[in-house]
Structures are given as structure tokens and as C-alpha cells.
Amino acid sequence: MEQLEWQEKLRALSAGELNQEEKANLIREASSSETKAAELRFSQQLTTVLKERDLFEVKGIMAGLILEEGLPTSPPSSFGGKSWRFWTLGLTLFLLLSTGVFFAGQTWGWWAHDPQALAQKYLRPMENVVFVEDNESASIEDLRLGMDAYDRQNYAKAIQYLNTYYNQAQDGNAGLFLAISLLMENQAVQATPILLSGLQKPGPVQEASRWYLALAYLQRADTPAAINTLEAIPNSSIYGQEAQELLKSLK
């Protein structure tokens, strides 16, 4: 019961439902337990990562607009001729390079809309926000090596270590990154039960697990299951807009 209450507090913090006094009480409670402190750090970092994804989407949209509409035929009066056009072109290139061609292509539909192509289009690895305890136990070493491989985009090696750690600790936070690694290696069948388990954890882990579960179903070409999962994502979710886009493509 106490653990459920703690998880609900973390969910409320991530959703912005706590006032200043409640936040202070939560921080004090976390300071009394190393485990709770680690869970609080993970929840805060994961929430930040999820929210900041929208900034990259905005840049991709801006770049796509410039590509579609082209450069203006005449510069504003405050700018001078060719120099303004070169500046605008430079801005366009900067936006494309800083966000990647993927985001522009995602916004403007440069890829096919079959289920597996959609999974590839929307699948992106999440930033590593796992807190690794400073001890020398064998299981923690597996977690450390697994997340290091994840950061280096060596997903096959990440799967090897994270799977060992997950089977021992049943840590839902690490399980999320194990599942993402499996998806990056097109192993959606193996990722699915881990993501289903992640739905039992409240807060950002549950939110991310539901999104990646939908992508897992798409990788498996199980469109009905993907639609059901996407429909369970609320519009207020950080994944709400993308979920609606996917639903339009699938229906």
C-alpha cells in the first residue's frame, strides 16, 4: 500500500498536480530513503525528456515549412538583398542539421504508411535517464554496462546486459530501456511483454511504455492492437499528438 501511495505521488508530480507544499513534502520523504530518492530522480528526468521532445518536433515543422513554401521572393526592407537570402538559407540548413532529416520527413510524410514503415518512422530511442547506484554488485554492473551500450547505440549489447539485470531485479525503469533496445533491433515480440508490464507502473514509465507498446504492435503488423493502444493515449499525453497522427494513418 505504501509503495502504491508513493508511486501515485510521483505520478502527480510528473503531471504537475502538486502544490509547492506538497512538492516540498515529497522531496523530504525521498530524502529519507535511497530507493525513493533514486525513483524521484528517475521520474523527474524522464518527465523532462518527454516534455523536451516537443522542441525537436517544432524545429522539424519549421524546416519543413521552409522546404515546402520556398524562400520569399523579396526580402524585408530591414535586410539587404542576397545577404538576407543567404542568411535564410543558412537558417534552413541549420534547422535541418540540428533536428535531423527524420523530423522533417516525419512531418511531411516522406515515408510509406504501412504499419511497419510507420513504426520505423516514429521509433526513436529515449534519452538515458536511469540512475545507477554506486556499488559493485553483479546485477548493478549489468545495468551499468547495459546503459553504457544503450548510450553508444549498441542495442544488441544493451539487450544482453539489460536482459540479465531485468530478469534478476524486475526493475521497470530498466525494463523500459530494454524494450526500446529490442524495438531498435526489430525484436518487437520480445519487447511486448516487457512493455505490457510497464503499463502497471504509474507516471512517466507507464506513459512511455504505452507509446512504445503501440510501436511494437506496428512492428508486428498487428494494426488492431496498435489502434487500441493508441486510443488509450490521452490527448494531454506528451505522445498525444503523435498518437492521433498515427491513428489517422491507420484508419
Q: What percent of the chain has pLDDT over 90?
A: 43
The pLDDT tens digits of the residues spanning 185-194 come to 999 999 999 9
Q: Under a CB-based contact definition with an 8 Å cutoff, are residues 174 and 130 in contact?
A: yes
Helices 172-184, 204-219: inter-axial angle, 10-degree rounding: 30
Helices and strands (H, E) in the chain, number of each type = 13, 0
Q: Is the pLDDT of residue 241 over 90?
A: yes
Mean pLDDT of 111-138: 78
Mean pLDDT of 171-188: 95
The pLDDT tens digits of the residues spanning 63-105 come to 454 455 444 444 444 444 554 445 445 545 554 555 554 454 5
CATH code: domain 122-250 is: 1.25.40.10
pLDDT category at 204 given cuts 50, 70, 90 is confident
Mean pLDDT of the chain: 77
Q: Is the pLDDT of residue 177 over 70?
A: yes
More confident residue, 136 or 166: 166
Q: Where are the domains of the chain?
A: 2-110, 122-250
Burial 49-86 (b: 16+ CB within 10 A, else e): bbeeeeeeeebbbbbbebeeeeeeeebeeeeeeeebbe
Distance between CA atoms of 13 and 22, rounded to whole angstroms? 9
The residue type of 225 is A
Phi/psi class of residue 16: alpha, beta or left (left: φ > 0; alpha: ψ in -120 to 50)? left
Q: Is the pLDDT of residue 8 over 70?
A: yes
Distance between CA atoms of 65 and 93, rounded to whole angstroms? 13
Q: Is the pLDDT of residue 245 over 80?
A: yes
The pLDDT tens digits of the residues spanning 39-67 come to 777 776 666 655 555 544 544 544 454 45
All three cell numbers of 205, joined, read 514509465
